[in-house]
Structure 1
Amino acid sequence: MQLLVDIHKQLASYPLEVKFNLEGRVLGILGGSGSGKSMTLRCIAGLETPKRGRIVVNGRVLFDSSKRINLPIRLRRVGIVFQNYALFPHLTVAQNITYGLQDLSSAERQHRLHEQIAKLQLFGLENRYPQQLSGGQQQRVALARALAVEPEILLLDEPFSALDTHLRHHLQEQMIETLSSYQGVTLFVTHNLEEAYEICEQLLVMSQGQAIAYDQKQAIFERPATYTVAQLTGCKNFSKTRAISPTQVEAIDWGCTLNVIEPIPESFAYVGIRAHHLTFTNDPNTENTFSCWLAHTRETPHRMTLYLKLHNPPTQSNDYHMQAEVFKEKWATIKDRPFPWYVKLDSLRLFLMQA
């Protein structure tokens, strides 16, 4: 499966300029609110029209401004699940699922309906109306409706955002199973990093209408090329930096010198490390290891975020250099140790970024 997108559209605050050639199965689109994620999906679906560019799926042209091709929605073979599901309130579950199948025979409509009912575990709900369904059931009906048209492209726009945590996790697992048997291309818009990593193979990162990174998910998380990409993928620890030697950099904001393994690029401005990659050691002589004190903590059900001041004790709670994330079990083993603690910035986990 292949999806080529190269579009330009002027938005109120900035131009939307997105270009990628997807040959995988599931692409996650990450970015902050208003970055252009949903507008990109709407252009692919035919709900919005780019000013110029091309959209091609498996060699079939959906949009080409130079050739004046702009297929209507019903001919694009695109299925879409909106953030609010957008089910028709006056139609039953069965009628919602078969809504886009009016051109098919009655027998084929029934076949596809039963196929989706079975696939998404909607038995017994066929004659209910959307207002009689839970949020999770509505989401599954919306997905069934999108898949019933046998789309070449499946567009998922924040499909889990309205769900509570338990239901969200359950439906994420169900989504992974559903997508494993879907043969088309899936674009999955989310701002949830764990969700994107779990469901998607490749990631497109957007900021102010621009696609600023496009790669395999491992590459983007392990080696973000720019400060903005690192921020949008959840990195919390940054320092302005400069090269000292081919293997050393000065982390100016952290007040330390770091050994690095990756080649130092000619133009770089920051060094970063993810909060869960910081480790604590009892050996102050280990490479890239520095004394630290605890400025304050933040607690979630399973993890602790530790705000650390390097080299000297903090003077107040917001006087810190970096954040470390540890599981509660690890926290229990270190919380009563006398200061200073020693934190290690593994050279394999450091990454150098452009501004």
Structure 2
Amino acid sequence: MALEVAIKKYYPDFSLDVNFYTEKGILGVLGASGCGKSVTLKCIAGIETPDEGKIILNGRVLFDSEKKINLSPQKRNIGYLFQNYALFPHMNVEENIAVGIKIKEEKNEIIAKYLKIFHLENLKKAYPKNLSGGQQQRVALARIFASQSDILMLDEPFSALDDFLKWQVELELAKVLKLYGKNVLFVSHNRDEIYRFCDEIMVLSQGKTVSFSTKKDLFEKPNSIAASKLSGCKNHSRIEKVDKYLCRAIDWNIDLTVTSEISDKDRYIGIRAHELMIVDDKERKKDINVEEFIIDELVENIFSIVIMLRKENAKQAIRLEVSKEYWQNNKRIGDTICVKLPQDKIFLLDK
């Protein structure tokens, strides 16, 4: 089970240049709105046609611009869960599921099987307008499973759901995907969803693949500024190399020691807000990467405190986030505080 995609598509104000290969498992496609995530899925499904490249699924060529191959969507055997689920409003639940079934002789058995798997037996005569968002999604997934597609593509599967329903549907979908056993592409702008569901993650930025890595690598050691931002890191600074393991963080106005040797292509550093450590003033002289900052701002969230820190003449503040339980402190805006930036938590980034 493998999907190979290497395509380009040009628009007047946007160009898509996507290149990736994935085998059995769930591949997350992470990117901001308008970066090309949905266009990529539509090209794979045959709804959009790339200008160049090829798409190969399980050894079968779906598209090849050089060989003039471009299979119709009906011949690609792809299960595509649209953001709005695309159920037929004039059909009830079991009729919607039946649409994708290819083996007509076994239609009734297949419908019954997926009505049971997706807990839809009591809703089989209901129409889409009478279903909740979560129920509509289950019907759309049942239709895809019943069609025995070679790949499942999920386009922002939770975007239409409120927070409480979203969590319930997430739990249900996680169980269902374990039954699928084939390639899954999971598109989202939400890093938490991607982290919970996916084994590997491709990051798209402005139509281009900027990162392809395991889940662990993306969140622990992203390799580019775009990937780092999309993974949720809030702290970035341009750097100047001082020595092999020492750099000047230009925007923060501090020198920092790192664990990896700084290469010529490294242009930025990043560190996550929860990795910064508040330390005693005495630690400043005994440890590395301990700096005294001025508290620029204090922001109270539901479960945490965000502290914006700034050095004198710095272009940017640094964000530190701690739980409310930990923040037993009488510090106020304008006070100074000592903070450690652990060298093993700092990552080097290229453009």
Structure 1, residues 70-127: CA drift from partner, whole Å, max 9, x if none?
22212211101111111111110111111111x4224x22222222222222230111
Deviation at 1:236, TM superposition (A): 1.0
Q: Is the 8 A contact 2:293 2:310 kept in 1?
A: yes
Deviation at 1:321, TM superposition (A): 1.4
Match of 1:136 in 2: 134
Cα distance in 2 for partners of 1:171, 1:340 equals: 46
TM-score by length of 1: 0.92
Rate the CA distance shift 1:118–1:12 in 2: closer, same or farther, 3 A.
farther
Cα distance in 2 for partners of 1:299, 1:178 equals: 38
Match of 1:330 in 2: 326
Does 2:160 align with 1:176?
no
Match of 1:344 in 2: 340
Structure 1, residues 269-319: CA drift from partner, whole Å, max 9, x if none?
11111112112222333321112232223333333322122369x9xxxx9
Cα distance in 2 for partners of 1:3, 1:82 equals: 20
- Within the candidate set 270, 273, 281, 2:271 is matched to 273
Structure 1, residues 14-34: CA drift from partner, whole Å, max 9, x if none?
221111111241111111111
Rate the CA distance shift 1:92–1:31 in 2: closer, same or farther, 3 A.
same
Match of 1:47 in 2: 47
- Within the candidate set 109, 112, 120, 1:111 is matched to 109
Cα distance in 1 for partners of 2:263, 2:118 equals: 49
Structure 1, residues 199-220: CA drift from partner, whole Å, max 9, x if none?
0111111112111111112112
Rate the CA distance shift 1:303–1:148 in 2: closer, same or farther, 3 A.
farther
Cα distance in 1 for partners of 2:93, 2:308 equals: 50
Cα distance in 1 for partners of 2:326, 2:136 equals: 40
Match of 1:186 in 2: 184
Rate the CA distance shift 1:11–1:111 in 2: closer, same or farther, 3 A.
farther
Match of 1:151 in 2: 149
Match of 1:63 in 2: 63
Structure 1, residues 114-154: CA drift from partner, whole Å, max 9, x if none?
22222222230111001101111111111211222111110
Match of 1:197 in 2: 195
Deviation at 1:68, TM superposition (A): 1.9
Alignment of 1:12-51 (within 5 A): 12-51=12-51
Alignment of 1:73-92 (within 5 A): 73-92=73-92
Greater shift in the superposed pair: 9-18 or 196-205: 9-18
Alignment of 1:294-313 (within 5 A): 294-310=295-311
Match of 1:221 in 2: 219
Structure 1, residues 216-262: CA drift from partner, whole Å, max 9, x if none?
12112222222222122221111111111112111122121111101
Cα distance in 1 for partners of 2:168, 2:264 equals: 46
Letter in 2 for 1:172: E
Cα distance in 2 for partners of 1:154, 1:328 equals: 41
Deviation at 1:320, TM superposition (A): 5.7
Rate the CA distance shift 1:302–1:7 in 2: closer, same or farther, 3 A.
same
Match of 1:321 in 2: 317
Unaligned runs of 5+ in 1: none
Rate the CA distance shift 1:328–1:111 in 2: closer, same or farther, 3 A.
farther
Cα distance in 2 for partners of 1:250, 1:35 equals: 32
Q: Is the 8 A contact 1:14 1:209 kept in 2?
A: yes
Q: Is the 8 A contact 1:295 1:320 kept in 2?
A: no
Deviation at 1:3, TM superposition (A): 0.4
Cα distance in 1 for partners of 2:26, 2:331 equals: 45
Cα distance in 2 for partners of 1:94, 1:100 equals: 11
Cα distance in 2 for partners of 1:343, 1:119 equals: 52
Cα distance in 2 for partners of 1:324, 1:208 equals: 29
TM-score by length of 2: 0.93
Cα distance in 2 for partners of 1:48, 1:148 equals: 24
Deviation at 1:340, TM superposition (A): 2.6
Cα RMSD of the aligned pairs, angstroms, is 1.9
Q: Is the 8 A contact 1:307 1:320 kept in 2?
A: no
**SS across alignment from 2:295:** strand
Cα distance in 2 for partners of 1:337, 1:10 equals: 53
Rate the CA distance shift 1:130–1:299 in 2: closer, same or farther, 3 A.
farther
**SS across alignment from 1:124:** helix
Cα distance in 2 for partners of 1:198, 1:53 equals: 31
Match of 1:10 in 2: 10
Cα distance in 2 for partners of 1:302, 1:141 equals: 36
Deviation at 1:326, TM superposition (A): 2.0
Identity fraction in percent: 40
Cα distance in 2 for partners of 1:229, 1:90 equals: 43
Cα distance in 2 for partners of 1:115, 1:11 equals: 43
Q: Is the 8 A contact 1:291 1:311 kept in 2?
A: no
**SS across alignment from 1:330:** coil
